[in-house]
Structure 1
Amino acid sequence: MTETVDRSTPGSLSTRRPRSATLAVAGGSAAFVSAALIWVCRLLDPSVQYVSQLGATGMATAPLFNLALLLLAIAAMLVDRALVTHGAGYVTGWPVATTLLICGLCFGVASVVTCSPGCPVPFTSGARPQDLVHISFAVLGFVLAIVAMAQVAVLRRRPWMRVGSIITLTAVGATSFTGAMLSLFRGDTVLGGNLEFTAATLAIAWFGIFGLQVASDQRSLFTSARSSGSVAAADSGDLASG
């Protein structure tokens, strides 16, 4: 009985950890592609002031932008799946995977329910129910991204990712808050738009980097497990021969 268990464990590790690493790499890559597509949209129509306007009804950039937003949702969910498959250690209060899952769902809804033309602020003149839905889910998604950054920032076993998350969440929080205030109070919309694009880029880039970090962790765990398994097997062989 003991021999059967020992032989099955390495096989289980060999399928589980590589699979989670692949999911994490795919998620990180999807995030980087999402950021690139958003900036392609911005370059195609530099007159657009705020991020969500790129995906508004009737905009030429809408299909590409909403694809980018959908890719971001997929990225968050793929990294979530990688952590669920084997994400020991990524828990701060509650699992980081849970935050990423809800975050991804929010971006998914925002990619499907788009703004009306001009993407007006909800409850203002010309705003429609779809604007409230889109902006609410998009904002909640980015808030949850900041929450995920904060969770990762307190994980002491990953110093460089911790420092990077602190810097990113501070920058994203400051730029997005300033941009939102400028938008609400009709301030410098050009500056507000640039700040919002900066915040979005930083947040999405963090998803990409975090996905690659999770993949690296999984590969390291897999390598350590295989080494331990090889040592255990050699010890068993020595005992048997003795």
Structure 2
Amino acid sequence: MLDRVLAAAGTVLVLASLAIIWIARLGVPRELYVSELGADGEPTAAWFERALLLLVAGSVAIAWASRRIRSRVPVLRWWAPSVSLAIASGLFLVASQVPCTSGCPVPRFGPDLSWQDLGHVSAATLAFVFAAWAMLQCAFAVGHRAIRRFSLIAAISVAVIAATGGLMSVFEFYAWFGSRLEFVATTLGIAWVAVYGIALAIERRPVVAASASGGIPAHRPEEVVR
């Protein structure tokens, strides 16, 4: 029951984070990457930081509630999806406390390298990577057919869209369109965490089966997570 409460509470926090990011983005008339909403001097900076902190808190709660979920695929079960989600949350926490500078320029090595921008971009990029890995792990998890399918679609979509948008920014090729792609990827990623939390909050209890050795209750592995 505690896990369900945590999953539900985490979902509320994650949805609140997504709503704040959307409201902040719609309030800015120009094209910009998501991170620029929290850049130094931006009027949306404080709200963007709050949104990331809500996302971190909600994701950690959902990660804890999902700690028993495992993936079927050997490579993907080196560690649990909850660990990937927790690491992503920690990296988003770093990104929230180390915002990029005005304009969020792409870090370039040289005498003018901004360590602040490098720190923010590195943390945010790695957070996306671990979040996408968590999605991929859940795509091959035991049970929850609906969440498996949604996770697979989300993992591929977030990875491809975010990578494309990031490369367009790096090479300054239609960066305005790349910023839109990044916003779509961000929305999909946060939406996945929310849907994941909902699935955990409403899941049925494990089915208890009688063992052949004497009627002692035992859980069949495939029924632990539905």
Output the TM-score relative to the length of structure 1.
0.79
Alpha-carbon distance between aligned partners in 1 of 2:41 and 2:109, rounded to the nearest angstrom: 20
Establish whether residue 130 from structure 1 lines up as the match of residue 116 from structure 2.
yes
Give deviations 1:74-97, integer Å, cap 9, x for gaps: 12111122234xx2x334331111
Give deviations 1:10-45, integer Å, cap 9, x for gaps: xxxxxxxx1111111111121111111111111111
Structure 2 letter corresponding to 1:183? S
Pairs within 5 Å for 1:34-113:
34-84=17-67, 87=68, 89-91=69-71, 92-113=77-98
Give deviations 1:209-237, integer Å, cap 9, x for gaps: 001111122xx217x67xxxxxx9xxxxx
Pairs within 5 Å for 1:198-217:
198-217=184-203
Contact 1:179 1:192 (C-alpha < 8 Å) held by counterparts = yes
Structure 1 letter corresponding to 2:139? A
Structure 2 letter corresponding to 1:90? R
Number of the residue aligned with 1:237: none
Pairs within 5 Å for 1:147-162:
147-162=133-148
Establish whether residue 169 from structure 1 lines up as the match of residue 155 from structure 2.
yes
SS at structure 2 position matched to 1:34? helix
Number of residue pairs matched? 203
Alpha-carbon distance between aligned partners in 1 of 2:144 and 2:4, rounded to the nearest angstrom: 17
**Percent identity between the aligned chains?**
37
Structure 2 letter corresponding to 1:115? C
Deviation at 1:124, TM superposition (A): 5.9
Alpha-carbon distance between aligned partners in 2 of 1:24 and 1:75, rounded to the nearest angstrom: 8
| Bigger Rg over Cα | 1
Contact 1:27 1:74 (C-alpha < 8 Å) held by counterparts = yes
Deviation at 1:175, TM superposition (A): 0.9
Contact 1:96 1:151 (C-alpha < 8 Å) held by counterparts = yes
Structure 1 letter corresponding to 2:135? M
Alpha-carbon distance between aligned partners in 2 of 1:138 and 1:80, rounded to the nearest angstrom: 18
Structure 1 letter corresponding to 2:103? G
Number of the residue aligned with 1:5: none
Number of the residue aligned with 2:177: 191
CA RMSD, 1 decimal: 1.8
- Flag as ranges the 4+ runs of structure 1 deviating above 4 A: 124-127
Alpha-carbon distance between aligned partners in 1 of 2:169 and 2:136, rounded to the nearest angstrom: 26
Task: Label 1:127 to 1:120 Cα distance change in 2 as closer, same or farther (>3 A).
Answer: farther
Contact 1:175 1:199 (C-alpha < 8 Å) held by counterparts = yes
Alpha-carbon distance between aligned partners in 1 of 2:91 and 2:128, rounded to the nearest angstrom: 9
Alpha-carbon distance between aligned partners in 2 of 1:148 and 1:27, rounded to the nearest angstrom: 16
Contact 1:113 1:133 (C-alpha < 8 Å) held by counterparts = yes
* Greater shift in the superposed pair: 64-73 or 143-152: 64-73
Deviation at 1:156, TM superposition (A): 4.1
Alpha-carbon distance between aligned partners in 2 of 1:189 and 1:136, rounded to the nearest angstrom: 19
Contact 1:146 1:173 (C-alpha < 8 Å) held by counterparts = yes
Runs of 5+ in structure 2 lacking a partner?
72-76, 209-215, 217-226
Structure 2 letter corresponding to 1:151? Q
Contact 1:172 1:202 (C-alpha < 8 Å) held by counterparts = yes
SS at structure 2 position matched to 1:94? coil
